[in-house]
Structure 1
């Protein structure tokens, strides 16, 4: 159908309006693009020229300074020291061999070291810095900086590295830090990104490991400009990291040093506890090692020497080691018997030197016997037969319950590594562990701290503190964090009758001060420091008939690792207990002759706040004590740090 002139005119007008609208839109788009081009090409030309060259802005993490660790008096135990090092970047060096040849004229570098650096450079990308030398002196560091124009690609860098100024004294308590391993990362659900930094270190053992997150701090950041090759062009912004928290532990550095020195080269451990608040004042394991070796990268020969040493210097014997407690355990069955009402302080058992049960003879340590013995004398003379008879009356379950009540067979929570629980065995335990029923012989062995019974030096110290006070003394190791004191615990009463506790304490007093005391030679003469204690000798193995036939009849004639363990526990002052001490000397022999003198000396140092006067010792021993002190390498405690956050 043919359109009219009017229809054609209306159609043309509509087309023209659409064309104008489209043109307007196009013009707006072109104007916007023009304005954008002007902004990019003129106003922001420098910025986009940088981007066009491939430069970009990157965020780099800055490792935080690790938190400090102090002793109870503010003495620095773990700190951070300046670590000067030099790195080389292949892209900037050009000819690394030539640059290293120049560098060795400034600092000592062996051919082997240079070959190792070149090999490492070959493994890395051209822009990755490789450490050439670590732990440079300030003079060496400054020399490299001054000669920088002649050393292209070499950068002197300054950082912080962990240091342990007290060396081996606190190796087992604090542990040490080391490089982050794949195994470390695999144990973390959401690893902190700072752990990915090259050569970043974290706690591996002890307090360093258990308080890692508090000591690590928070990473800082650097905003840097890098080119298309990834090389840093300039630093745009720096926000320093937040240092880790300052931790103050309960241990006294001077007492710890004395304890370590007193243990000497023995394979041994000693623990000192303040019975009033549970503070661990010393936790010494011997022999020890220098944790700084691990921070700096221990050599293969040094590590093998530690691993192969028969005295196990890497093990913390205070909390990881568990031993048959021997006669130091005898307060447990005694209190169990007294609390049960099956005996009282006057109950007597006759000791002919042995007891026969089910056709088997169990000997007392005194083959001639002790005659008729009551409770106090049973501890004073450490009569085994008394406890054989007592065990048959009270049974395993009462002994085990009392042992746990006194802290044995209980894992005490502390920020230390691999704390052992020990064993306070009962009937249910043997069925679960060995699928066997408890026998009377098991009770007899347990009554003198043998058989299945195992305790750590820490647990023995806790047991002693609880007997001394009648309260549920619990050990603690952290005294303050960032200057804020950790609240002390108000210990509950053990619920034991005071008369029974007095009987056990009287027996321990007689051990030290009685005419037949097994540790009378190690008594303290100063009346204000009167000491109570208990010796123990735990058998490692019997001397065989074949050995006896060869003339081996004494423990000291056996090879070292087959000899008995020597143990001792004590507390003082007797009338107002303040400190409890435990000592274990692996394969040391008799507790009265080996462990008791060590425990007495450590306890005296704690009581005196330093080396005690010689008149506190028996007169005949004073010359030997002076000679022993002269041989010791006692470390004087430096002045406390002024950092207020370290003080409680």
Structure 2
């Protein structure tokens, strides 16, 4: 019995031993092969090249300038050794600063990084190519091909295109791709479409020796990125500065009224985009942000203004939607509207008769809208303002679009904790008080009267091979649709009939337009002031903002041109000639058929 037990134990030991030998020699072989494979295969992510931004005719607005970076091997502890490499670099490129190169190295070198350290981020391709070999002879120095974002036209369309800047720690945590590219979109289209422009990293897998020397390429997946084509026409965009003339600050929007494509838009003054790519000097930055005309602010979507009289068409629609009035209802237009002990004055005291919406728009009569708003009330007005695009985002493809303010009881209660007064309604009726808008909101609103539909203003036509589709909708009630022809008649009269507030200012336009002017006060006027001081006599910053918004040709509305001139004093006389010049350029560029010219069509 004991012998059987001993043989059994011996057999079990041999079985266990053979099992262990089998596992080590056969089963675990694959596991160790995988480890060995991992040790011999080096995987690298490949940074994508940022996509281009193009205008509608494939003209480049943002491209990548080819060049080289200069890099020094990592983990150099001795200053003497580092200085010897830097001295060699400076001997080849005397224009470089040795002290700055050393600072760059010490700042970027890390014990956790094994790659060469960039000390010169970008050098011009042609300048470097002839001296390339002199640096490559030194094994501690690496010259690598790279690219830098370039904006060929400097400040042109700067607030639309935007710019890229160096990625920070937060950026790299939120988007690992920026660890490879080192850059991210900071403003404008560069920011809004950053993911598409930045692209997707590639990957390279190579077999290496124990000394990390490359043996063979195992696999390579190339990176990819997308170009973004905009609706901007470069030639028209260039012309906007000429059309704006000597005015200091403001904005212009030129938009297709039927589909929301923006053919050109500008926020003035503009600023050069290129210094932001590698880091703008502190002095230039201070000058930019301290400029009284705020060139760094995108006035198209990131500045708010009282709209003044350019909202009177929408206010009329609020009256008609209430069913208390219709487009033919006569309302008194006179020198002032009295509410309690306060007189709300008309902009002119030379009119005194009952008028319909046609003459109210043509003459921009304030008291017509005071009386209408008083009877309709803010509770019926605010929802219509929002439906026509005020107090809500337009959906434009630019970052951080401002919402603006379409005033109402709820808004005031939340904002100021104060009740709504009837005087607030009166101020709102002519685009003053707390009413605030952006130029793009006014352009979108004007397109509704031009076509009867609400469109989404936008810049991008195509991202990569994908053509973008933008929303549009029918926003009018039946009562508003019935009133639309009369509202259009009023806008036609503004530009084409003597007495219209834009008649003289728009006379230079070669086609017939529908228009509305607006003068938005930026300072209050005392009730005790009998005769208002002329705008021209005021200090510049106290002058009213000048608005004009237009569509044309009136026979078949195709385009909207909205102009805002900060502190321009008079909407018609200041903004009208600018809008007229833009329409004439649209004709010259072939966007508007010559059959609509005043000389050929009655």
Same fold (TM over 0.5): yes
Aligned to 1:632: none
| Structure-2 separation of matches of 1:358 and 1:30 | 104
Q: CA deviation at 1:591?
A: 0.6
Partner of 2:133: 146
Aligned partner of 2:179 in structure 1 is 196
Alignment partners' CA distance in 2, 1:597 and 1:458: 20
Rounded to whole Å, the distance in 2 between the matches of 1:27 and 1:413 is: 73
Correspondence for 2:582: 602
State whether residues 605 and 612 of structure 1, in contact with CA within 8 Å, keep that contact through their aligned partners in structure 2. Answer: no
- How far did residue 177 of structure 1 move? 1.8
Runs of at least 5 residues in structure 2 that lack an aligned partner in the other structure: none
Q: Distance in 2 between matches of 1:26 and 1:250?
A: 76
Q: State the match for 1:645 in structure 2.
A: none
Deviations 1:619-640 (A, max 9, x none): 9xxxxxxxxxxxxxxxxxxxxx
In the alignment, is residue 248 of structure 1 matched against residue 235 of structure 2? no
| Paired position in structure 1 for 2:556 | 576
For each residue in 1:269-296, what CA deviation from the matched residue of structure 2 results, as whole angstroms up to 9, or x when unmatched?
Answer: 1112211112222221111122222112
Greater shift in the superposed pair: 24-33 or 345-354: 24-33
Deviation string for 1:185-231 (max 9, x for gaps)? 56x3xx4x32333x5212222222222222222211233567889x7
CA contact (8 A) 2:550 2:560 kept: yes
Pairing 1:263–2:247 present = no
Q: CA RMSD in A?
A: 3.8
Q: 1 CA distance for matches of 2:370 and 2:445?
A: 21
Q: Give the match for residue 589 of structure 1.
A: 569
Aligned to 1:182: 169
> Which residue is equivalent to 1:76?
60
Q: Per-residue displacement from partner, 1:514-534 (whole Å, max 9, x unpaired)? A: 11111112225677x211111
Inter-partner Cα distance in structure 2 for 1:63 and 1:521? 57
Alpha-carbon distance, 1:412 to partner? 1.6
Aligned counterpart, 1:63 = 47
* Pairing 1:270-281 to 2, within 5 Å after superposition: 270-281=252-263
Unaligned runs of 5+ in 1: 1-9, 620-648
The answer to which of 304-313 and 212-221 deviates more is 212-221
1:60-459 pair list within 5 angstroms:
60-90=44-74, 95-107=81-93, 108-117=95-104, 119-120=106-107, 127-148=114-135, 150-185=137-172, 188=174, 191=175, 193-197=176-180, 200-224=182-206, 236-237=217-218, 239-263=220-244, 266-459=248-441
How far apart are 1:370 and its partner, in Å?
Answer: 4.6
Shift of residue 118, structure 1, vs aligned partner? 5.3
Contact kept, 8 Å, 1:99 with 1:152, in 2: the verdict is no
8 Å contact from structure 2 (residues 101, 120) kept in 1 = no
Give secondary structure in 2 for the equivalent of 1:379.
helix
Per-residue displacement from partner, 1:475-521 (whole Å, max 9, x unpaired)? 23332233332346563262344441111111111111111111112
Q: Is the 8 A contact 2:327 2:357 kept in 1?
A: yes
Shift in alpha-carbon separation, 1:11–1:340, aligned structure 2, 3 A: closer
Q: How much has 1:346 moved relative to structure 2?
A: 4.4
Is the CA contact (8 Å cut-off) linking 2:549 and 2:560 kept in structure 1? yes
Q: Call closer, same or farther: CA 1:105–1:532 in 2, change over 3 Å.
A: same
Distance 1:179 1:493 in 2: 43
SS at match of 1:428: helix
The 3 A distance-change label for structure 1 pair 135 and 611 is: farther
Give the distance between the partners of 1:455 and 1:360, measured in 2 at CA: 27
Judge conservation of contact 2:67–2:125 (CA < 8 Å) in 1. no
2:446 paired with 1:464: yes
The alpha-carbon deviation at position 555 of structure 1 amounts to: 2.7
Give me the whole-angstrom Cα distance separating, in 2, the residues matched to 1:531 and 1:427. 36
1:521 match: 504
Instruction: Give how far 1:431 is off.
Output: 2.9
Report how many residues are paired.
590
Distance 1:481 1:119, change over 3 A: closer
Q: Distance in 1 between matches of 2:2 and 2:329?
A: 128
Instruction: Judge which range, 291-300 or 442-451, deviates more.
Output: 291-300
CA 1:77–1:16 in 2, change beyond 3 Å: closer, same or farther? same
Give the CA deviation at 1:398.
2.7
Counterpart Cα distance in 2 of 1:505 and 1:89: 71
Q: C-alpha distance in 2, partners of 1:577/1:23?
A: 96
